[in-house]
């Protein structure tokens, strides 16, 4: 979502299309998952359907790729602030994979955190702390921290948030989720966890607190106490 925010005006004007490709042995499932990813960008990024170029592939795989093809940018000046540095593309590929929604990993898998050169930053330290416990689910880092980890571009600072994603194709044990949330609350940064089910994603804190949450689906958001069940 970092790049979406940076280039929203060009995306909305049609200058930079958002390429969405779904991969799954079943075309219907690939289409549903592509739509779910687009729904997230519409809800959180302020985009609309015309912004996307969507192709769904019937083949081995279980993920959605989202790419932006960015034009080359002039080199940022030595006096550029952090925001300018983020926009610099001299050392970045023009075809950037911003979201890789595989079944068992988020944009940055937990296993790769310890090797990151950004390990001194509070959000990365928080993510590394979570790897010290064996969790019964796949999880990873998304958002601005995930972007920084994936590109090694220094966009993080002491007040940066940590966005986490848990993959949950099946219902998860509530006690284990409570333990996760307790550990997340003790991290040295503000952190938020989204849980992805086959039917959409929801905020873990909201669901644990209220017993229900807003599930973001390919057909829009709906309030539910059963996020692992399809709405009829």
Q: Show which residues are catalytic.
A: 161, 163
Q: Locate tokens 């937990």: which residue?
A: 110
Q: Report how far apart, in Å, the C-alpha atoms of 133 and of each of 127, 180, 190, 224 are.
A: 11, 9, 19, 30
């Amino acid at each position: 979502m970092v790049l979406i925010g940076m280039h929203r005006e060009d995306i909305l004007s049609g200058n930079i299309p958002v390429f969405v490709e779904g991969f799954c042995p079943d075309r219907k499932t690939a289409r549903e998952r592509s739509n779910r990813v687009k729904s997230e960008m519409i809800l959180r990024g302020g985009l609309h359907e015309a912004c996307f170029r969507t192709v769904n592939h019937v083949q081995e795989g279980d993920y959605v790729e989202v790419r932006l093809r960015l034009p080359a940018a002039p080199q940022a000046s030595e006096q550029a602030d952090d925001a300018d540095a983020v926009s610099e593309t001299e050392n970045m590929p023009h075809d950037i994979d911003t979201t890789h929604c595989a079944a068992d990993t988020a944009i940055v898998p937990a296993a790769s955190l310890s090797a990151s050169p950004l390990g001194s930053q509070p959000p990365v330290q928080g993510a590394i702390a979570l790897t010290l416990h064996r969790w019964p689910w796949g999880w990873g880092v998304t958002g601005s921290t995930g972007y920084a980890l994936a590109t090694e571009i220094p966009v993080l600072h002491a007040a940066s948030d940590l966005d986490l994603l848990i993959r949950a194709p099946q219902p998860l044990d509530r006690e284990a989720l409570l333990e996760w949330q307790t550990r997340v609350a003790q991290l040295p940064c503000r952190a938020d966890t989204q849980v992805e089910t086959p039917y959409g994603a929801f905020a873990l804190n909201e669901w644990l607190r209220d017993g229900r949450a807003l599930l973001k689906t390919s057909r829009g958001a709906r309030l539910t106490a059963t996020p692992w069940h399809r709405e009829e």
